[in-house]
Amino acid sequence: MTTKELKQMANRLRMDVVETIHHVEDGHPGPCMSIAEIITVLYFSEMNIRPEEPRWPLRDRCILSKGHACPIQYAAMARKGYFDMDELKKLRKLDGILQGHPDMNKTPGIDSVSGSLGNGVGIGLGIALGCRMQGIDNFVYVIIGDGEQQEGVVWEAAMAAAKHKVGNLIVLADCNNNQSGGKVTELSSLYPASEKWSSFQWHVQEIDGHDVEAIKNAIANAKAVTDRPSYIECRTIKGKNIPYMENNNAWHKRVPTKEEVEIARKYLGGAV
Amino acid sequence: MKTKSTREAAMRAIIELAGQDERIVIVSPDSLLASRAVPFLERFPDRLIEVGIAEQNAVLVAAGLATTGMKPVVISYAGFLTMRACEQIRTFVAYPGLNVKFIGLNGGMLGGEREGVTHQFYEDVGILRSMPGVSVITPADAGQAYKATKAMFMREEPCYMRLGSGREPEVFPDDTPFEFGKIRVVKHYGDDVAIFASGFIMNRAIEALELLKAEGINGLIADVSTVKPIDSETVTEILKRTNCAVAVEDHNIYGGMSSAVSEISSLYHPCRVIRLGLNDIYPRSGHADELLDAYGLSVQSIVDGAKKAMSK
């Protein structure tokens, strides 16, 4: 995909999320919007995956540690062909395969349970070690939020990952400075986060998390570092590209009305 | 009574299994020495993954490893595993049904004895029993721990095995079989009363049975070495014969093996089941035998419990 196509796809996925959450009347739209470009670059540019063979052992892995943003991952996976687009309409419903938070057994292509915050980096470390021990040449991507880095187990995993020199582990942090209860900077003292990861002996980069070229370049840089895990701090905007959602934490979990869906469609460039 | 380390026995089994299956790895939250894993490390230096004192991360790493087809076992103190890393076991291993094994050390008062309450764990079985998808094994001595370890690795599912301090009384002859999910009647003098026992207090239960026999009460001892899934058929069969029982374990009286036996009784054969364990209080530091005596698990307590069960 070209850069232009990736940008369009990110907005298309945003629109999928707005329509899905409107349709099923439940979900977290704001946190999806800030990772639209990250998810798009991973699924449509970077990851070596086979949607027709979801458990292909040599595949790259993607752990969405901030699992509440799964609607946008599901949208990307549907568009990649893991399952039918109609499944999105059954998100969070008893007869659907898409759980409220990712489930590796119910949804083909999901690599781990996630959603209980803070746990993705440790899972990713285990996968990275398991693949390396079996001589599998792949990469494990973990998408974490900034708020979830308040969980102590993130740092347990960060410490151990550096010790084990897992060059195949790449963490992308969606740093939108918002969490359920308010601003990350007001609720706790995470920032400067990249300095913390740096002191934990990770390879660290800071980028604009909505710039698909920057994400691609950062991943290329991370892949070139083989003796350390990588942390890519992606500066993002919660609710990005939908003005009424941008930086408005009321949209952490909220259902858009029919009118709001149409407004979103207008701003997302009629991509859908 | 002669003692033999359950920790060494389990590790001997793991090393033998690891020699046959290179997917078996140990994830250690600084439990190398406590789990007696130095010989494993010497033989398989790349297959002991040390993560430091971080049980939650150890469980997550094991979960991640299992998704790639590896067969990890996480070994740590029973409470640090089942309480500190409780959610990681539940959500990231049990829920997706990943093939991860857990070995909890210092199970019970006896396990932690002089260390005190921070290192004694009498809630582990109850915690894990309440979690769908986790099997719970409580061997009674080193020989059983060795066989139970091998049986546990035969199963491709989450399993927890409870071990002790490394100074457990040897109660069974070496050729005693272990069958996952089955209750074994260890001694059967008669059907006056049943003693259900699990774990490292089996020696006391056996002693109590002999004392009862000397008083003319002929009972039986059933070894409940798999607490979940519990062999409810055998529990029911035994209760139908004896019409009363005492259930003994080094665990809080809530949630463990004795609760499981009572649940089965209430459903299939209601009768008096006296539960003997730690009586919902925190004990203290002390020598193992003195502790058990002081907190309701003396041989005499078991004898008295059996008589109480029999009284109408």
Angle of helix A120-133 relative to helix B55-67, nearest 10 degrees? Answer: 50
Q: Which residues of B touch A153 (CB under 8 A)?
A: 54, 56-57, 60, 88
* Total domains in the fold of chain A: 1
**Is residue A126 within 8 Å of residue B62, measured between CB atoms?**
yes
Tell me how far apart the alpha carbons of residues B253 and B247 are, in angstroms, rounded to a whole number.
9
- pLDDT-derived band at B111 (thresholds 50, 70, 90) equals confident
The token pair at B183 is: 């209750």
Pair of tokens at residue B198? 């699990």
Name chain A contacts of B57, Cβ cutoff 8 Å.
122, 125, 153, 156-157, 160
Q: How large is the average pLDDT for residues B138-154?
A: 97
Query: 């740092």: which residue's tokens?
Result: A155
* Per-residue pLDDT band at B166 (split at 50, 70, 90): confident
pLDDT category, B199, cuts 50, 70, 90? Answer: very high
* Closest CA–CA distance from residue A104 to any residue of chain B (Å): 7
Nearest to B54, CA basis, from B66, B46, B62: B62
A250 C-beta neighbours (distance < 10 Å), count: 10
The residue range of the domain holding A148 is: 3-51+59-267
- What is the set of domains in chain B, with CATH numbers? 3-169 (3.40.50.970), 184-310 (3.40.50.920)
- Asked whether the beta carbons of B260 and B209 are under 8 A apart, the reply is no
ipTM over 0.95: yes
Calculate mean pLDDT across residues B175-183: 95
Over 50: is that where the pLDDT of B40 sits? Answer: yes
On whether residue A191 sits in a domain, the answer given is: yes
Query: Distance between CA atoms of B59 and B75, rounded to whole angstroms?
Result: 10
The whole-angstrom distance between A119's CA and the closest CA on chain B is 7
Please state, in angstroms and rounded to a whole number, the distance separating the CA atoms of residues B209 and B216: 11
Average pLDDT, chain B: 96
User: Which residues in chain B touch residue A125, judged by CB atoms under 8 angstroms apart?
Assistant: 57, 60-61, 64
pLDDT of residue A270: 58
Local confidence band at B113 (pLDDT 50, 70, 90 cut-offs): confident
Q: Quick check: A164 and B49 CB within 8 A?
A: yes
Whether A272 maps to a domain, the answer reads no
Chain B residues with CB-CB distance to A156 below 8 A: 51-52, 54, 56-57
How far does the CA of residue A158 sit from the closest CA of chain B (Å)? 10
Nearest CA-CA distance, residue A124 and chain B, Å? 6
Which residues lie closer than 8 Å to A199 by C-beta, 6 or more apart? none
Q: What percent of chain B has pLDDT over 90?
A: 94
Q: A123, B60: Cβ pair inside 8 Å?
A: yes
pLDDT of amino acid B167: 87
Assess contact for B189 and B131: CB atoms under 8 A. Answer: no
B119 near B282, Cβ under 8 Å?
no
Tell me the CB-side half-sphere exposure of residue B189, using CA atoms within 13 A. 18
Mind listing the pLDDT tens digit of every residue in chain A (272 residues)? 999 999 999 999 999 999 999 999 999 999 999 999 999 999 999 999 999 999 999 999 999 999 999 999 999 999 999 999 999 999 999 999 999 999 999 999 999 999 999 999 999 999 999 999 999 999 999 999 999 999 999 999 999 999 999 999 999 999 999 999 999 999 998 999 999 999 999 999 999 999 999 999 999 999 999 999 999 999 999 999 999 999 999 999 999 999 999 999 999 975 44
Domain contains A124: yes
Contact A113 B64 (CB under 8 A): no
Q: What is the mean pLDDT of residues B284-303?
A: 95
Within-domain flag for A43: yes
* Residues in B lying within 8 Å of A, measured between beta carbons: 25, 27, 46-47, 49-52, 54, 56-57, 59-70, 72, 87-88, 91-92, 95-97
State the count of interchain CB pairs (< 8 A) between A and B.
Answer: 107
Contact assignment for A112 to B46 by CB distance below 8 Å: no
Instruction: Give the model's pLDDT for residue B63.
Output: 98
Contacts of B25 in chain A (CB under 8 A): 133
Smallest Cβ–Cβ distance between B61 and the set A103, A105, A125 belongs to: A125
Alpha carbons A185 and A208: distance in angstroms, whole number: 19
Task: Name chain B contacts of A111, Cβ cutoff 8 Å.
Answer: 67
- Is the distance from CB of A107 to CB of A75 less than 8 angstroms? no
**Do B58 and B27 touch, CB atoms closer than 8 A?**
yes
CA atoms within 13 A on the CB side of A230: 23
Looking at residue A130, which CATH number applies to its domain?
Answer: 3.40.50.970
Q: What is the pLDDT of residue B277?
A: 97
